[in-house]
Chain A
Amino acid sequence: MERIVDAARFVRRLGVIGGRDELWAQFKAIAAQHGFTFLTVLKAPEGEPISLVHTNAPAEVIAAFDGGGYSADDHPVLSRAFDQIEPFSRDEAKATELTAQQGNVLAYVGDTLGITNGWTFPITKDGVREGIVVIAGAKPDMSPVLRSMLHLLAHLAFQKSETLAEGGKSESRTLTARELECLRWVAVGKTDSEIAVILSIKPRTARFHIENAKRKLGVATRVQAVAEAMRLQTIAA
């Protein structure tokens, strides 16, 4: 059940994630806990070309995918992901009618990445296709409850990823290491001057870090900052 709580934390943290790479890295970390070590996110709005949002596959694997026609809209597996909204497994994808070359590419990619199974989650918004999130691994946990959990997380992460892309470079809401350190000392009851001594900085600097953390967390008081940071699990509870 711990995994469910981890997933809940991820959703709560979505609000303060500042960048797409960080977002998908955190999603990948959760998926990896369950054996899904491979992640690829494609954006494919209706009528627009497919673009790669995120992947941790090596370049030669991507090239093989492209060579196998995976970047084309009419590829059977991609078409399936675009036409239906129900997630499907790698086994089901393999059962799709593929040409010999497409089948070989799928097998080659599986061998290269050490993948035996995984899920493709079609992402839609108000019934219109947006993209797909693919996760796979050597021995992933394919249980129904995890399928639901990762399906929901992929959906929410994709939405957030799109918002981040639209918003451009807004100020990062992620706390810096120094801000976190100061906040941790505040949480155990230290004053600015005490924190200054501990970290060998000026009290003013300690105050500066805490004020920045407050602004990023969108709160007015120090007590609130600690509560919010604990709630978001950015400092240990």
Chain B
Amino acid sequence: MMSNCWVTTTSAIDDIEGARSPQAVWAAMSAVAAAFGFEQAFVLRAGDGEPRFSTLHGTLQTDLAEAFVQAGFAGNAALAKYILDARRPLVTDDVPSDLFTEAQRQALETTRAKLCIGAGLIVPVQNGEANLGALLLAGRDPMTTPIARSALHFLAQLAFTRVTFLEGKREVELLSPREAECLRLSAHGNTDGDIGRKLGISARTARFHIENAKKKLGVATRVQAVAEALRRKAIAA
């Protein structure tokens, strides 16, 4: 597992940078967290202004997620402030327990027992002075060594950066999903025939999609189309 997580780190960087939707970013983040032994990964987005967490994205079982919402974690400003002010990954046991209400302590205990959680890591993410949110990771027997913490801190930064970029950018929609897919496969060395077989369409149709993509991108050749689409991030690198 130890060496494998470094290979996963490298491929996760590729996946996050190439992701075309926030969901894809978080999926890549969850995968790399799992390689470090954190089976559970949740994303908390920071609200505007006041230090508080707004939305939760992750793989938490519905009943547990509900318990979390009910226990009012999102509104716990003191807890949010503590996490964000740390500016570095915190092992869950580092968080003073008096920051939690009784209901929150219980919700944590229940979750811990139900998911057999041995340790957790809280990774705050900032862009300069602005708080973007935090990544919550937990697992049975995860890697929490200094280098694992550094790697996950960096990856969390990268993931939030990519999501912020995707949410602010609509050029992704320049090409239709089919055109983008055909062009992406072409960029990976597939012929029209290969693309057709992979997508279950005829080679002619694949060619048609690529021709349309060329027109939309205003270029004359296929190589140019790929280069231009990559430049404009209309297809994933």
Mark A residues whose CB is within 8 Å of B.
1, 4-5, 7-8, 11-12, 14-15, 85-87, 124-126, 143-145, 147-149, 151-152, 155-156, 159, 186-189, 219-224, 226-227, 230-231, 237
B96 touches A (CB below 8 Å): no
Residues of chain A within 8 A of B237, CB atoms compared = 227, 230-231
Find out whether the CB atom of B230 lies under 8 angstroms from the CB atom of A227. Answer: yes
Report the Cα distance A5→B224, complex, angstroms: 24
Instruction: Given A145-B157, A152-B151, verify A224-B188 contact (CB < 8 Å).
Output: yes
Which of A4, A124, A223 has the most B CB atoms < 10 Å from its CB? Answer: A223
Main secondary structure of the interface of B (DSSP, over half): helix
A sample of 26 cross-chain residue pairs with beta-carbon separation below 8 angstroms, ordered by A number, consists of A4-B154, A4-B161, A8-B158, A12-B13, A126-B2, A144-B87, A144-B153, A145-B126, A147-B150, A149-B150, A151-B147, A152-B147, A152-B151, A156-B9, A159-B6, A186-B223, A189-B221, A189-B223, A189-B224, A222-B223, A223-B189, A223-B223, A226-B187, A230-B237, A231-B237, A237-B231
- B161 in complex: contacting residue of A1, A155, A156, CB < 8 Å: A1
Other-chain contact of B223, A86, A124, A149, A187 (Cβ < 8 Å): A187
Q: Which listed residue, A11, A126, A151, touches B146 by the CB 8 Å rule?
A: A151
The docked-state distance in angstroms from the alpha carbon of A126 to that of B143 is: 11
On chain B, the residues within 8 Å of A143 by CB distance are 87
Asked if B131 is at the interface of the complex by the 8 Å CB criterion, the answer is no
Size class of the contact patch on chain B? 35 or more
Given A7-B154, A11-B10: A148 and B88 within 8 A (CB)?
A: yes
Q: Is the interface of A mostly helix, strand, loop or mixed?
A: helix
- Additional A-B contact list (5), CB under 8 Å, known A12-B13, A227-B226, A237-B230: A144-B153, A151-B146, A221-B189, A226-B187, A227-B188
Contacts of A230 in B (CB 8 A): 227, 230-231, 237
Q: In the docked arrangement, what's the CA distance between A15 and B158, Å? A: 19
Compute how far the CA of A170 lies from the CA of B171 in the bound complex, rounded to whole angstroms. Answer: 41
Contact A8:B147 (CB < 8 A) given known A187-B224, A223-B223, A230-B227:
no
Interchain nearest-CB distance for B14 vs A (Å): 6
- Segment 147-176 of B: residues with Cβ below 8 Å from A: 147, 149-151, 153-154, 157-158, 161, 164
CB distance from A113 to the nearest CB of B (A): 25
Beta-carbon contact of A189 and B154 below 8 Å: no
Q: Does B30 contact A (CB under 8 A)?
A: no
Contact across chains for B157 and A149 when beta carbons are under 8 A apart? yes
Q: How far is the CA of A220 from the CA of B186 in the complex (A)?
A: 11
**Assembly CA distance A15 to B9 (angstroms):** 13
B61 at the interface (CB under 8 A from A): no
